[in-house]
Amino acid sequence: MYGIGIGESDFKILRTKKNYYIDKTMYIKNIIDNQSKVILITRPRRFGKTLNMSMLKYYFDCTQKDSKELFNGLKIMNQGEEYTSKLGYYPVIYLTLKDVQDTCYANMLLDMKTAIMEIYQEHRYLLDSDKIYPEEKEKIIDILYAREDENVLKNSVRELSKYLNRHYNKPVILLVDEYDVPLQNAYVEGYYDEAVKFFKTFYGITFKDNPYIEKTVLTGVSRVAKESIFSRSK
C-alpha cells in the first residue's frame, strides 16, 4: 500500500517504503545533457531541491549497490544506453551546507568542519586504498578528527575529489545542497565579510579548473551576484 512521505527528502527511503513519488527522473537526463561543468539550480524553499539532489546521488553513485532497483519503472530507465550507462558509474561527493550557520565566524568554521568531516566519513575506505599516499591518508585522518586548519578546510573538497578520481580512475560528480545558507546566515549575524572571503576562496578552489570533477550541481535559493563568490580571490 502506498503512503505519502511528508517531509521526506531521501529518495531511497521514499522508494523502498513505496511512498507516492512524482516521477522527476527526467531531471537526471537534463543534468547529463547540460554541457556546463557547474550547474546552479535556484528554487524557493520547500520546492523539493534536496530530494532531487538525493535522487542524483543515488543515480550516479558507484558505491550504491541497489541503485537499479530504486529506478526501476521510472522514466529515466527508458531513455537509452546514453543515460542508463551513467547509473552507478561515478564516485559522488554530496555536501550539504544547510547546518553551516552560527552566530559568529569561528563557530561557522566549526560547522563547516563538521560538514566536511561527514563527507570524508562516507569515503573513509580511502584509508585502505593502495592508491592513496601515506601523507594523504594522514590529511584524511586529520579531517576525520576535525584537526585541519582553515587553509586545509578551503582545499578539502578539491583534495577529496582528487583522491576519489585516483582511487576509481573516474571523474567525480559533486553535489552541493543549500550552497547559500552560510552566507545568508552570516549576513544576518553580522560577519558576512569574513564569510564571503572564506567561501569565495573555497568555491574558487573547488570548482575553478578542477580536473577531477565531471560535473558540479548546486542548489540554493539565491542567484549568483555579478561579483560572483565562485570566482577565486587573487
Is residue 180 packed enough to be buried (19+ CB in 10 Å), middle (13-18) or exposed (0-12)? Answer: buried
Answer yes or no: is pLDDT of 18 > 90.
Answer: no
pLDDT of residue 64: 84
48-77 pLDDT, tens digit each:
588 899 999 999 999 988 788 889 999 999
Closest CA to 141 of 157, 161, 117: 117
* pLDDT for the residue 44: 55
**What does the pLDDT look like over 174-190, one tens digit per residue?**
999 999 999 999 999 99
Which residues, at least 6 apart from 132, have a Cβ–Cβ distance to it below 8 Å? 126, 140, 163, 166, 167
Report CA 158 to chain centroid distance, whole Å.
Answer: 12
| Mean pLDDT (the chain, rounded) | 88
Distance CA 38, CA 35 (A): 9
**Contact (CB, 8 A) for 152 and 199:** no
pLDDT at 6 over 60: no
> What was the pLDDT predicted at 79?
96
Predicted confidence at residue 13, as pLDDT, reads 76
DSSP-assigned beta bridge partners for residue 96: 177
Cα–Cα dist 110/114, whole Å:
6
CA distance 171 to 112: 24
**Residue 221 DSSP symbol:** S
| This prediction's pTM | 0.89
| 94-145 pLDDT, tens digit each | 999 999 999 999 999 999 999 999 999 999 999 999 999 999 999 999 999 9
**Grid coordinates in use for 89?**
558509474
Tell me which residue has cell 570524508: 120
The whole-number pLDDT of residue 99 equals 94
Polymer length of the chain: 234
Beta carbons of 120 and 147 less than 8 angstroms apart: no
Residue 67, pLDDT score: 85
43: left (phi over 0), alpha (psi -120 to 50) or beta: beta
Residue 9 has pLDDT above 80, yes or no: no
Give CA–CA dist 16/107, Å, rounded.
37
pLDDT for res 1: 41
Please calculate the CA angle 100-104-106 and round it to the nearest 5 degrees.
80
- Distance (Å, whole) CA 190 – CA 198: 15
